[in-house]
């Protein structure tokens, strides 16, 4: 099968379009013919080697974390899917590789594609949808009447998280550029901060939750907008000891992550708030709940551009500019 391959970890290096063997099918796997694949900054970071301590993929490997496609074969123990089903997923860590014509996905990671979405729209959802769900529903327990700040509201996670937070009944503030202010308002943002002209930490106060996807400076400033008992949840790091334990990392890596996050954890404690790092995980059951929201018209995908599969490297370069609104997708079929 054709696939985009990482031959070695190297910053900004091009993926190689080459041939890989069709994936082997385990008993609880579903073989999917991929029709579209979503791109994420995580792909660039994995390619660059930023995650090789905690996600030790051994080159050569196929990159890609989002897919939509059609089931072509199922393993002996699969009960919930059949050939011909239209599905979407974020495959679990260790088994990614959606920049390819086929992938074997554990049944537990998969969900039926929302009926009202195209393959390209569906492929834009899994990673950002699950990230937003795990931050706002699972980790933050966001509820009606609370206030949440979602950084980078026009990005992939941001466009989804704004809609989910509004559905949960929260007041939503977001940071974005002037050019994207109307987009985030149309998704439900109540307060829009133009980060080029305003300091969000001087405008906002008494917030219950902050979802951070930006740099360390933004993370530090975010502490100032939270009320006592508030939660600062970051998907861009630094990873914390709880994450190290969840991942089953060795003692040395646990201590390293403890050190990396010590400063922000100490400052959070000093302000009477909590800090945690979230690295999203595959979850077909949560994806089914997301499907229900999409089919009910509560959440809509935001897709910036669709590239042909052959232009996957150009698509990655485009998302690395940081200018895309919502998601970028490559189309295989």
Q: What are the pLDDT digits (tens) for 50-77? A: 988 888 899 999 999 999 999 999 999 9
Q: Is the predicted pLDDT of residue 100 greater than 90, yes or no?
A: yes
Same domain, 154 and 262: yes
pLDDT tens digits for 218-270? 999 999 999 999 999 999 989 999 999 988 889 999 999 999 999 999 999 99
Same domain, 113 and 131: no
Examine residue 29 and state whether it is found in any structural domain, yes or no. yes
State which H helix or E strand residue 31 sits in.
strand 29-39
Spatial separation of the C-alpha atoms in residues 180 and 176, rounded to whole Å: 6
Same domain, 132 and 214: yes
Q: How confident is the model at residue 110 (pLDDT cuts 50, 70, 90)?
A: very high
Q: Is the predicted pLDDT of residue 160 greater than 90, yes or no?
A: yes
Same domain, 67 and 46: yes
Examine residue 292 and state whether it is found in any structural domain, yes or no. no
Tell me what the mean pLDDT of segment 295-311 comes to. 98
- pLDDT at residue 282 in the model: 98
Same domain, 133 and 111: no
Examine residue 224 and state whether it is found in any structural domain, yes or no. yes
Spatial separation of the C-alpha atoms in residues 96 and 107, rounded to whole Å: 14
Same domain, 170 and 241: yes
- pLDDT at residue 19 in the model: 97
Spatial separation of the C-alpha atoms in residues 180 and 21, rounded to whole Å: 42
Q: Which of 216, 208, 169, 171 is nearest to 189 (CA)?
A: 171
Q: Which of these ranges, 27-36, 148-157, 235-244, 312-321, has the smallest mean pLDDT?
A: 235-244
Examine residue 288 and state whether it is found in any structural domain, yes or no. no
- pLDDT at residue 55 in the model: 85
Same domain, 58 and 98: yes
Examine residue 295 and state whether it is found in any structural domain, yes or no. no
Instruction: State the helix-helix crossing angle for 41-48 and 312-320, rounded to 10 degrees.
Output: 100
Owning domain of residue 167: 127-277
Tell me what the mean pLDDT of segment 161-175 comes to. 98
Examine residue 285 and state whether it is found in any structural domain, yes or no. no
Q: Mean pLDDT for the chain? A: 96
- pLDDT at residue 140 in the model: 98
Burial of 299 (0-12, 13-18, 19+ CB in 10 A): buried
Share of the chain above pLDDT 90, in %: 93
| CATH number of 43's domain | 3.90.180.10
Same domain, 154 and 193: yes
Burial of 188 (0-12, 13-18, 19+ CB in 10 A): middle
Same domain, 159 and 118: no
- pLDDT at residue 52 in the model: 86
Same domain, 267 and 180: yes
Same domain, 320 and 271: no
Q: How confident is the model at residue 175 (pLDDT cuts 50, 70, 90)?
A: very high
| CATH number of 266's domain | 3.40.50.720
Same domain, 174 and 109: no
- pLDDT at residue 37 in the model: 98
- pLDDT at residue 323 in the model: 87
In 128-194, at which residue ranges do the beta strands (DSSP E only) sit? 147-150, 171-176, 191-194
- pLDDT at residue 184 in the model: 98
The total number of structural domains that make up the chain? 2
Examine residue 249 and state whether it is found in any structural domain, yes or no. yes
């Amino acid at each position: 099968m054709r696939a985009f391959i990482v031959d070695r970890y190297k910053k900004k290096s091009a993926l190689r379009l080459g041939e890989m063997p069709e994936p082997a099918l385990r008993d609880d796997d579903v073989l999917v013919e991929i029709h579209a694949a979503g791109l994420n900054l995580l792909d660039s970071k994995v390619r660059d080697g930023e995650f090789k301590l905690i996600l030790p993929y051994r080159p050569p490997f196929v990159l890609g974390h989002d897919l939509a496609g059609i089931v072509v074969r199922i393993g002996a123990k699969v009960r919930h899917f059949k050939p011909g089903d239209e599905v979407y997923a974020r495959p679990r860590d260790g088994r990614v590789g959606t920049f390819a014509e086929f992938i074997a996905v554990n049944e537990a990671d998969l969900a039926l594609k929302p009926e009202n979405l195209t393959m390209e729209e569906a492929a834009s959802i899994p990673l950002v949808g699950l990230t937003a769900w795990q931050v706002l529903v699972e980790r933050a327990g966001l509820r009606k009447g609370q206030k949440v700040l979602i950084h980078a509201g026009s990005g992939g996670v941001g466009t989804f998280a704004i809609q989910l937070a509004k559905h949960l009944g929260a007041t939503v503030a977001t940071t974005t550029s002037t050019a994207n202010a109307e987009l985030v308002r149309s998704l439900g943002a109540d307060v829009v901060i133009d980060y080029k002209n305003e300091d969000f930490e001087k405008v906002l106060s008494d917030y219950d939750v902050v979802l951070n996807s930006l740099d360390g400076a933004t993370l530090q400033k975010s502490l100032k907008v939270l009320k006592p008992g508030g939660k600062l949840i970051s998907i861009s790091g630094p990873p914390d000891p709880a994450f190290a334990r969840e991942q089953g990392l060795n003692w040395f890596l646990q201590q390293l992550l403890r050190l990396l996050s010590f400063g922000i954890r100490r400052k959070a404690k000093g302000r009477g708030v909590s800090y945690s790092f979230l690295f999203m995980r595959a979850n077909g059951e949560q994806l089914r709940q997301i499907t229900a929201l999409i089919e009910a018209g509560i959440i809509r995908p935001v897709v910036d551009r669709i590239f042909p599969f052959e232009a996957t490297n150009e698509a990655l370069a485009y998302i690395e500019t940081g200018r895309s609104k919502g998601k970028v997708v490559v189309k295989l079929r």
